[in-house]
Amino acid sequence: MPDLRDQISQALKGHGADYVEVRIEEGESTRLLYRGRELEDVGMTTSLGGNVRALVNGGWGFVSFNTIEGLGARVEDAVRQARIVGQEKSELAGVEPIVDIVEPQLKKDPRTLTLAQKKGLMDEYNEVMWGVGGIQTTLIAYGDGHKKVVFANSDGSYIEQQRVDVSLRLSATARDGSEVQQAGVSLGSSGDFSVVEGLHQESKEIAEKAASLLAAPRVQGGEYTVILDPVLAGVFTHEAFGHLSESDHVYENDRLKEVMVLGRKFGGEHLNIVDGAAVPGLRGSYRYDDEGVPATRSYLIREGELVGRLHSRETAAKMGEAPSGNARAIDFRFEPIVRMTNTFIEPGSTTFEEMIADVKEGVYACDWYGGMTSMEMFTFSAREAYMIRDGKVEELLRPVTLSGNVFETLKNLDAVGNDLDMNQGGGCGKGGQSPLPVSNGSPHIRIARCLVGGA
Amino acid sequence: MEEILEAARKVADAADLFWVESRSIPVAFETNRLKHMQTKEARGVGLRIIKDGRIGFSATNKVEDVEGIVSRAVEVAPYGAKAEFGLPSAAEHPEVPTFDPAVPQVPIEKMVELSQEMVEGVLEGHPEVLCDAGASQSVVKVRIMNSEGVDASYEKTVFSIGLSGTLVRGTDMLFVGDGESSCRPIEDASEIVARVRGQLDMAKQEAEVTTGRFPVVFTPDAVAGLLLSPLLVGFNGKTVVQGSSPLVGRLGEKVVDERFSLYDDGTIAFRPGSRPWDDEGVSTRVTPLIDKGVASSFIYDLKTAAQAGAETTGNAARGSGSLPSPSTSVISIAEGDMSFDEMIADMKEGLVVERFLGAGQTNILAGDYSGNVLLGYKVENGQIVGRVKNSMLSGNVYETLNNLIAIGNEAKWRGGSLRTPPLYCADVSVARTEGEG
């Protein structure tokens, strides 16, 4: 986009602000949504838009739009707003200006398949699920999107990146009288269609699971030793701990700063938590964030101790820490805010067999259904759960809800498995921006005491 | 727009075009200080066509690209859902005022002032609280055209203010907040400030909760946050035609306490959820979903109505980027006869709950709800004794609304599309979630 680059650099001249950035996005997306046997929604969407963000005396102005003519006037608007807001000193962590054009590396680009091919595959999965007895309805939501993002700022950075995202959710609902149960799976990738291929067996198992949940007993609510599978442990890491590492919650909150003070012991030496978009090939991976900061791979917890957190340029400057490349916006309509990317617990050395061997009575909770956190409190739901008795996985239970206080729960995390697995089906929501592509993961983990409720 | 419809008519049997254009200006205080000001402009158009009995759809905000939007809709149509319905023709619609020219005239300085008043109002009595506050104004233009001759448009203004506070003590955190939304300018934030200060006062002490079944007062916030989705999902035409609603085949049956009535009414003047016609151009009306405890009607758009062999209820909702689906407009729950204070006074041991965390993760299709209490208070012997922590509520909304003790005599607006009194229910399952003993 040579013309666009000229237009942007013209617009960024003589703005009079402490900092200005421009982001222009052009995208296209395809979606297929089945409810039951019917392909309820199939659509293709194209979009073009952009924004200007300006910083003056510590205050931000932001203007978003759908037409890219008149960028100069948009810059003036944003600067004017920032000037009204700004009452102190602007602080942004220094980042070397970057000029780069990043081409995506795609294994199997979804754009090389026709709509008919994508639909054909989804039809097959749907048929498989409907082939299982007791199924009331199914849901298949497939989406792919491609966008080109142009970023430039008044420091002299100019970056073009392309982002491709593929996501698929399959679920089956079984019903018996007024009893309704669901099972499902969510998958995704940063542009590799092959992750949503070959799921015929998985589709069958989902439908069978939903049907078998109808007959499953409810858990007796209470405190148990809980083993989480990698998917659910990944969600736990994201929800219960990851959000606390987002510095925008922390940097102007002195009390929370005390809670999240670097060096504080959060867990045993076996606990290591990492976040980073520089971990390659995952759904939350990228080269530069939406402030043009290079992606990193950062320890949040190392050997049980808090050693890092997630930053934008502003939060990094205000906390005197290094920027981590975690400022992300879901699209051009939004300002970048501090977000997770790929968040996971590093594997340890305990095998699943060792972990379960001395559990007399407990719950083995698998797969995620949803999760939310409000700082110290968290709730997350396991789609699938089993009783553990005398070191063995026993009967299937109805879906369970796990909840508690994150600080207590991390202390109670007493074993970390050796079998790291990444979950790419998630979408994260924060500040009205949802779903943002992220991944999370973990090996199996054991929590000595955790409150389990029936969902 | 005319060109897109004209081009679509040439290649399709029927078509409708839905256009939304908006401009909103929010200002935001973060941690007690003015931090953000934004101007957000957006526009977009969605084209739905019916071709050979199937629905095609495409959307864009590149509105000059007439050929692209039409050709993509044609491309997807062979795979689209069956169209068992026709598009409506032009009709008379009810008069529903949703536009107040005073909203875009509200100066930015006034919005900053309102936000500042909220922050200062809280800090005055509670200097240790960190406040986020904001105000926003927006103007939305909606236009619909279809191949049957409909060409209608309306404008809507929305003015919103909101306040939230966080109080951190060690590893303990307390969250309070409130907000208001209207199609007319909101001049005064004092009621919101008073409510948030009230929340902080009631939460000053901590109170113990034991696991068991207790009477619970659900405030309007709790009705909105915990009970409403599992209740409304069963009335949605989409879940009805799928057969996943527990109410299928049960219209006319008593499903909750006979004092409970709930209406969908998008004709109420100056509410952000109101409109003269729905997003398919069908007139807005009042639809009783629950009338004196009896399930009386489902809500439909054109497609789900046709599938169910019913008439649309004028409840189609769509953005410019998506096909319509049934959605409630403005929900109104009828008032009862007990005041909030009388409910508290009536309780020997129980809870008042306001805000939840993790609501909606249960099997809401069946009416189940479950959530951690984010903000709630313990009542002992007719008095609020303090804030409850570490407790979880769960149950089934139909059971809970069958265990009604009383309905509040004063309904409040929550957001732009719900008006509800507090609900006082018996025998709600409360679990203490940690720190036993």
Residues 6+ apart with CB under 8 A from B232: B289, B328, B331
The pLDDT of residue A249: 82
Percentage above 70 pLDDT, chain B:
98
Mean per-residue pLDDT, B29-50: 94
Q: Is the ipTM of this complex over 0.95?
A: no
Question: CA-nearest residue of chain A to B375?
Answer: A374
Write out pLDDT tens, residues B86-134. 999 999 999 999 999 999 999 999 999 999 999 999 999 999 999 999 9
Q: Do B58 and A43 touch (CB under 8 A)?
A: yes
Interface of B with A in 156-175 (CB under 8 A): 166, 168-173, 175
* Cβ within 8 Å, pair B394-A453: yes
Nearest C-alpha in B relative to A175:
B244
* Interchain CB distance below 8 Å, B246 and A180: yes
Per-residue model confidence as pLDDT tens digits over A162-188: 999 999 999 999 988 767 788 999 999
For A244-288, where are the alpha helices, taking DSSP H only?
247-250, 254-259
Q: Which residue, among B67, B171, B390, would best test binding to A if mutated, counting the most A CBs under 10 Å from its CB? A: B171
Question: A453 and B357: CB-CB below 8 Å?
Answer: no
B2-11 and B66-76 helices cross at what angle (nearest 10)?
A: 40
For residue B358, pLDDT beyond 70: no
pLDDT tens per residue across span B158-170: 999 999 999 987 7
The residue type at B99: F
- Residue A396 clears pLDDT 50, i.e. is over it: yes
- Note whether B361 contacts A408, CB cutoff 8 Å: no
Residue in chain A closest to B324 (alpha carbons) equals: A41
Q: Which residue of B31, B39, B303 is the best one to mutate when testing the A interface, meaning the one whose CB has the most A CBs within 10 A? A: B39
Q: Do B361 and A63 touch (CB under 8 A)?
A: no
Residues of A in contact with B323 (CB under 8 A): 40-41, 43
For A224, name the nearest residue in chain B, comparing CA atoms only.
B434
* Dihedral sign of CA atoms B426, B427, B433, B437 in order: positive
Q: What average pLDDT score do residues A433-446 get?
A: 94
- For residues B166-203, b (16+ Cβ closer than 10 Å) or e, as one string? bbbeebebbbbbbbbbbbbbbeebeebbebbbebbebb
Bond prior to B26 in cis (omega within 30° of 0)? no
- pLDDT band with cut points at 50, 70 and 90 for residue B361: low
Q: Please judge whether B39 and A381 are an interchain contact, meaning their C-beta atoms are less than 8 angstroms apart.
A: no
Nearest CA in chain B to A450: B434
pLDDT (tens digit, 9 = 90+) per residue, A118-146?
999 999 999 999 999 889 889 999 999 99
Confidence of residue B359 (pLDDT cuts 50, 70, 90): low
Q: Token pair of B346, please?
A: 């009536």
| Structural contact between residues A202 and A185, judged by C-beta atoms closer than 8 angstroms | yes
Q: How many CB pairs under 8 A join A and B?
A: 215
Output the pLDDT for position A19. Answer: 97
Confidence (pLDDT) at B64: 87
pLDDT tens-digit series, residues B285-296: 999 999 999 999
Model confidence at B436, in pLDDT bands (50, 70, 90)?
A: very low
Q: Enumerate residues 6+ apart whose C-beta is below 8 A from B293.
A: B254, B255, B256, B257, B258, B259, B260, B261
pTM for the whole structure: 0.86
Mean of pLDDT values over A355-376: 87
Confidence of residue B334 (pLDDT cuts 50, 70, 90): very high
Measured between CA atoms, how close is B269 to chain A, in angstroms?
Answer: 27
Does the structure show a pLDDT above 90 at A412? yes
Taking the CA atoms of chain A, what radius of gyration do you get in angstroms? 23
**pLDDT tens-digit profile of A214-250?**
889 988 889 999 999 999 999 899 988 898 899 998 8
Residue with tokens 């909030």: B340
Token couple for A86: 């700004």
Question: What does A118-170 look like in DSSP terms, one character per residue?
Answer: HHHHHHHHHHHHHTSTTEEEEEEEEEEEEEEEEEEETTS-EEEEEEEEEEEEE
Percent of chain A residues past pLDDT 70, beyond the cut:
98
Question: Using CB atoms, which residue from A63, A376, A455 is nearest to B363?
Answer: A455
B242 near A CB under 8 A? yes
Torsion of CA A149, A249, B374, A436, to 10 degrees: 10
Predicted confidence (pLDDT) per residue in B395-420, tens digit: 999 999 999 999 999 999 998 899 99
Nearest CB to B31; choose among A48, A178, A253: A253
Alpha-carbon gap, residue A162 to A180, rounded angstroms: 42
Residue A182, beta-bridge partner list = A173
What residue of B is the nearest CA neighbor of A255? B168
Give the residue from B240, B276, B39, B435 showing the smallest Cα distance to A82: B39
Q: Chain B closest CA to A35's CA: distance in Å?
A: 8
pLDDT at B434: 61
